[in-house]
Chain A
């Protein structure tokens, strides 16, 4: 079985500050890991993914995440927050099978960016 835990349902940062959204996973097999962003009343957009290549993954909009097997973590970071980053962020895990398999999502972290 696979699961994802996102620590902190709400995170608030000032514009220009570092963004850190935490994700820990549990998987009995090598995982694929994903971060998705969801803006209000919209579907999910992929920010980045880890698929057993480089452990530091760079995504869109300046986000990156580092896969740490020893800590079973895949935290999402961005050096400088922008107002447009305010959204809901979901970490997800799937089985490393090379083909599409079901995504197991965390409960999400709502990022608020203040002036």
Chain B
């Protein structure tokens, strides 16, 4: 059984650019959640996707958007990057009838 994978591992962008982060969910999981973890903080919920539809969103602006594909993998897109977007972005997957979320290793985004 393959766990949750994320790519890339690290990314450096400049302010104003756009970025796409990718997540492959664990086998058998159809729900993906994204979290932002700033340095020294706990993860903050960005949004969740279930069966290719957004299923809940945290307090993040519209320039944070996502997609889920038929194979349940997911993308997180961030437009007009700001310095405060520098963080570890975590993806978590679960099956719809389960309450346990399995986390990937994260993507470290640095905005200069």
Q: CB-defined interface of A21-44 with B at 8 Å, one 1/0 digit per residue?
A: 000000000001000100001111
Whether B56 contacts A102 by the Cβ 8 Å rule is yes
Whether A98 contacts B97 by the Cβ 8 Å rule is yes
Q: How far is the CA of A58 from the CA of B41 in the complex (A)?
A: 26
For the complex, count residues of B whose C-beta is within 8 A of A: 30
Whether B101 contacts A43 by the Cβ 8 Å rule is no
Residues B72-102 near A (CB distance < 8 A): 90, 92, 94-102
Q: Which residues of B contact A43 (CB under 8 A)?
A: 4, 90, 103-106
Q: Which residues of B contact A44 (CB under 8 A)?
A: 43, 90, 92, 103
A104-B48 contact given A43-B105, A45-B103, A49-B100, CB 8 Å threshold: no
Chain B, Cβ-Cβ closest to A95: B99
Q: How far is the CA of A104 from the CA of B35 in the complex (A)?
A: 10
Q: How far is the CA of A92 from the CA of B33 in the complex (A)?
A: 15
Whether A100 contacts B45 by the Cβ 8 Å rule is no
The one of B41, B58, B103 in contact with A108, judged by C-beta atoms closer than 8 angstroms, is: B41
A100-B42 contact given A43-B104, A43-B106, A44-B90, CB 8 Å threshold: no
Residues A4-62 near B (CB distance < 8 A): 32, 36, 41-46, 49, 51
Chain B, Cβ-Cβ closest to A100: B94
Q: Which residues of B contact A41 (CB under 8 A)?
A: 108
24 A-B pairs whose Cβ atoms sit less than 8 Å apart in the complex: A32-B99, A42-B106, A43-B105, A44-B43, A44-B90, A49-B100, A97-B99, A98-B97, A98-B99, A100-B31, A100-B33, A100-B48, A100-B96, A100-B101, A101-B56, A102-B45, A102-B48, A102-B56, A103-B35, A103-B92, A105-B43, A106-B42, A107-B41, A108-B42
B interface residues with partner A (beta carbon < 8 Å): 4, 31, 33, 35, 40-45, 48, 50, 56, 58, 90, 92, 94-106, 108
Other than the known A99-B99, A101-B48, A102-B45, what 6 A-B pairs have Cβ atoms closer than 8 Å? Answer: A51-B99, A98-B97, A102-B48, A103-B35, A106-B42, A108-B41
A interface residues with partner B (beta carbon < 8 Å): 32, 36, 41-46, 49, 51, 90, 92, 94, 97-108
